[in-house]
Structure 1
Amino acid sequence: MFVWNGTDYAEEGILNIHAEPDITVQHRIQNTLALEKGVYKLQLRELDEYTSHIDQVKLYAIDYKGKWHLCPLTYAYHNELGKVTSKLFFDDSKRVDLEPTEVIDLKFAPSIPPSQTAYFIFEINGYNRKTPGEP
């Protein structure tokens, strides 16, 4: 996963969705996630030789009291399949395949002002059949 830091996409890390059935993973974003034209931008990239099957994505802004605020998904664009927003909105088994070298651009609307945001949690539901421990 990569996050927009205000000047470029910064590598955030690998999301461990290696499982046979769908799995939900929550990842606390470590890099700066900056607003650009009123939205938060993230990218999902398949960097190895496996295919990930993505069912749902969410972004939460966590305030300084620890309350979670859902940032609505406003846009999802797959570089081969086109617009896939509706497929990533629900946990409904309507998955988007992310094959090697492919990218999904995501945009989320803010749910609270940036000044009230302590950090962000990205949540993904899906799977990748790669076995943990494989190179």
Structure 2
Amino acid sequence: MKNSIIILFMLIGVNISAQIRSFDEIPTNILNQIDKMGVNDSLVLNNYESDYFNVVFKDSLLNFNFSKKKIGFIGGGISSKCHYFKEERERYYSGKTTISSHLYIFEGEQKVEVGGYDAVIVCWSKFVYPKEEIIKKINKRQNKLKKK
């Protein structure tokens, strides 16, 4: 019984993530632009970055489009868009898989609570956190940045 529950949670976690894990599943025309992604720390994605994420998270978008969206990055030592794409490029050029990530989309009051972010990408996390936890993590990081 215990093993069945563990397997169930593992399957649920995989479905929640709904992320492409192999660069082979990403169209070549998008991958050819990988050096144009993460070139600045603007919170708003450029067209190359939004095209990339629209493919990587295509199974979990729920009518969300990354175009011109404000996106936060947290987890696994990744704290910015530049850092995310630097690591993603290294993984691509060395023949590894994409960064393991979870997408959290915010709307309405949650978007206000999280400082205007349209979505947050949580990297290298073994767990799927409730949105409330992600909001707390983002707000904590923003408060640290304000104090600097």
Higher Cα radius of gyration: 2
Q: Is the structural similarity TM-score above 0.5? A: no
**TM-score, normalized by length of structure 1?**
0.28
Q: Which has the larger strand fraction? A: 1
Give the structure, 1 or 2, with the largest relative contact order (CA under 8 Å, sep 6 or more): 1
